[in-house]
Amino acid sequence: MKRICVNCGSSPGFDSVHMATARRLGEELLARGCELVYGGSDVGLMGEVADTVLAGGGTVHGVIPRLLAEKVAHRGPVELHVVESMHERKTLMADLSDAFVGLPGGFGTLEEIAELLTWNQLGIMAKPVGLLDVDGYYEHLLAFLDNAVAGGFMKQEHRDMVLVARDPADLLDQAAAWHAPTSAKWVGLKRSSRPSP
Ligand code: AMP
């Protein structure tokens, strides 16, 4: 795995453990000689992971929409790709990366991770996606996914695509060993018999 995409909060979070985790992840990327792909800004956990990789002499690719670039683009030696929309951003980040790691974040992080898993589930993409679940930050999201399986809205095999670890090295090891699921997306599919108009 050459390039790892990190999806994470544009805020630092209240608990300093999250900024520390961002630094630990940056250090692990450096130790493995991996390049970072991320959202290209200098704020919150995003800025922290980028600064750590840059400080260690690593390569950082930032992908940012023009509107955000004017406000929060990283001003360091980041290989900055300025794109026109959030959709273009996510597509380019996915194309550039071999695996994806989610740190704590809000809507932006959740949306990016969910979209990647959806692409894997539909077979549009086949790349590992994991969460760094420090201090139980993602506990409720993981419980939601178990509930979706129990309710017949998600296959266990697709639920299991979400790699989880507390430690960056463990998560990257899991990502390196990951195999894409083989079963089709739909659970108990029964198609409507209504004719199309
Ligand atoms: P959030 O988790 O809501 O803070 O959103 C973080 C994710 O959404 C990042 O991975 C970015 O791709 C995107 N994003 C949201 N806010 C910003 C911002 N101020 N600067 C750059 N990217 C952002």
Delineate the domains of the chain, giving CATH numbers in brackets. 3-179 (3.40.50.450)
Q: Is the dihedral of CA 135, 116, 147, 107 positive or negative?
A: positive
Instruction: Give the Cα separation of 187 and 190 in Å (integer).
Output: 9
Question: Residue 160: which of 136, 176, 137, 183 has the closest Cα?
Answer: 183
Q: Is the dihedral of CA 52, 80, 170, 145 positive or negative?
A: positive
| Secondary structure element (H or E) that encloses residue 165, with its range | strand 162-165
Q: How far is the CA of 130 from the centre of ligand 1 (A)?
A: 18
pLDDT in tens, 42-60: 999 999 999 999 999 999 9
Q: Residue 195 — pLDDT band, cuts 50, 70, 90? A: low
Q: How far is the CA of 108 from the centre of ligand 1 (A)?
A: 5
Work out whether strand 129-132 and strand 162-165 pair parallel, antiparallel, or are unpaired. parallel
User: Taking the model in full, what pTM does it have?
Assistant: 0.93
**Ligand 1 atom closest to the CA of 109, numbered from 1:** 2
Instruction: Give the Cα separation of 171 and 74 in Å (integer).
Output: 26
Instruction: Give the Cα separation of 186 and 122 in Å (integer).
Output: 9
Nearest residue (CA) to ligand 1, atom 5: 108
